[in-house]
Structure 1
Amino acid sequence: MSDISEPLRLAAIGDLHVTEDSHQRYRALFEEISEKADVLALCGDLTNFGKASEAEVLAEDLRGCTIPTVGVLGNHDYECGAPEEVVRILRQAGVTILDEQAVEIQGVGFAGVKGFVGGFGRGELGGFGERAIKAFVEESVNEARKLENGLRSLRTDRAVAVLHYAPIPETVAGEPAEIFPFLGSSRLADAVDRFDNVKAVVHGHAHRGTYEGRTRRGVPVFNCAQFVVNERFDRPYALLEI
């Protein structure tokens, strides 16, 4: 385990939804974040339709970010069927896309995945019945497994899980109850709760959700969709001390 104990300032933002017309929309914000935080976490839906041209617009704005940046994709980043190209462009811009890897920055470990739907608690969908249902649940299980593997690979005293979909229902409260099962999965929280060193979870996706909640084990979870954060802090990013 790392013995570095100085607090790390983490800025987290999700749901940028960059379009081809969003030139320099976030550059000044990234410059501001670089002055206030040590690390930036991007919590998915970075583009609006998953177009390479949208990712290039975001990559250009990220030139204003001078601190290490980690992130995950969101469902919008898959819309055009070219998430690999979005990842390639963002990696060239200096973003560490976590999905299949974890990273240590200033003594804090970061692991993350997009996540998937499936529901929460007793309402979580099980893999029984039709083939389509089983495939649906398998996707949810695989995302949780990737998160667990990433967290397990870290050897730090402190770790942060970066997600797009929510791991708990508390941070999607405010969205219509009917769509809760499509906003996240408890399987993600189960993965987090297996590790004592996880100090925080950040996610996006639920634009009308609630800023803060906790997993069953008590790990703080923050909904960092910019719409949620802006309403609470009058700025579109969360600023956490890890």
Structure 2
Amino acid sequence: MNGDGAIKVAAIGDLHAQEDAQTSYRDLFGEVSREADVLVLAGDLTNLGKPKEAERLAEDLRACSIPVVGVLGNHDYESGSVEQVTATLRQAGVHLLDGQAMELMDVGFVGVKGFVGGFGARMLSSFGEPAIKAMVAESISEAMRLENAMRQVRARRTLVVLHYAPILETVLGEPPEIFPFLGSSRLGETIDRFKVSAVVHGHAHRGTYEGQTPGGAKVYNVAMHVAKPTGRPYALLEV
């Protein structure tokens, strides 16, 4: 923590831990512990949502000596074992948020997964087949859960943690055909109803690192493969 009360947050998304992979994140988590006050994980923590993958990641997280806050991503739901994945990561000490807010070091952390829907004037509307209406309803539900969580925050500074993008700017670099599946402006509209210090998300592996909501909130795409000013897989933010 700096003298002015700001804390350093290391943020990374899309680790895609695999049960049989040779890759270990232990050294990375050890490095982050020396560089930051809090580690934030922006979803897709596992590759296929398998309990064994969560166990592998939990083992690596033993090397992390700072608080860990995170949300799940779409990959963490793939195998229908999200409750086991969630339990394993929480037992490993991860503050896994799913429509909740919490406070650490005088900073409010708010987290939801988010959902698809598209951006701006091209955002999907609730019209037509029931399947489309169900998709839009899910997108609206995630935005409402984010709003309800934001209303719980009492801290002066707030970091919003998402998996899906809240703005178009940070998904640029991905194929335009898949933009509607990378996030939703409904999340950004909700964020702009509150005073927010920063927003982090993942999901768009080939997206752009930095953007902002129409209301001016800074947004950072911290997916692991997105180039960051640190030159490392994680972003370092002062909040």
Q: Corresponding residue for 1:188?
A: 187
Query: 2:223 matched to 1:235?
Result: no
Q: Corresponding residue for 2:150?
A: 151
Query: 2:205 matched to 1:207?
Result: yes
Query: 3-state DSSP class of the match of 2:158?
Result: strand
Length, aligned pairs only: 237
- The list of structure 1 runs, each at least 4 consecutive aligned residues, that deviate by more than 6 angstroms after superposition, is none
Query: 2:34 matched to 1:35?
Result: yes
> In structure 2, what is the Cα distance between the partners aligned to 1:100 and 1:84?
15
Q: TM-score, with normalisation over the residues of structure 1?
A: 0.95
Residues 229/94 of structure 1: CA separation in 2 closer, same or farther (3 Å cut): farther
| Contact 1:204/1:224 (<8 A) preserved | yes
Query: 3-state DSSP class of the match of 1:233?
Result: coil
What whole-Å deviation, never above 9, does each CA across 1:87-136 have from its counterpart, x for those lacking one?
Answer: 10000000011113211000000001111000000000011121111110
Identify unmatched segments of 5+ residues in structure 1: none
| Contact 1:23/1:61 (<8 A) preserved | no
Query: 2:73 matched to 1:74?
Result: yes
Once superposed, what is the RMSD of the aligned Cα atoms?
Answer: 1.3
| Contact 1:51/1:80 (<8 A) preserved | yes
Note the C-alpha offset of 1:140. Answer: 0.4
Q: 1:158-197, aligned counterparts within 5 Å?
A: 158-196=157-195
Query: 3-state DSSP class of the match of 2:227?
Result: helix
Query: 3-state DSSP class of the match of 1:129?
Result: coil
Q: TM-score, with normalisation over the residues of structure 2?
A: 0.96
Q: Which amino acid aligns with 2:110?
A: A
Query: 2:218 matched to 1:220?
Result: yes
Q: Corresponding residue for 2:112?
A: 113
Identify unmatched segments of 5+ residues in structure 2: none
Query: 3-state DSSP class of the match of 2:219?
Result: strand
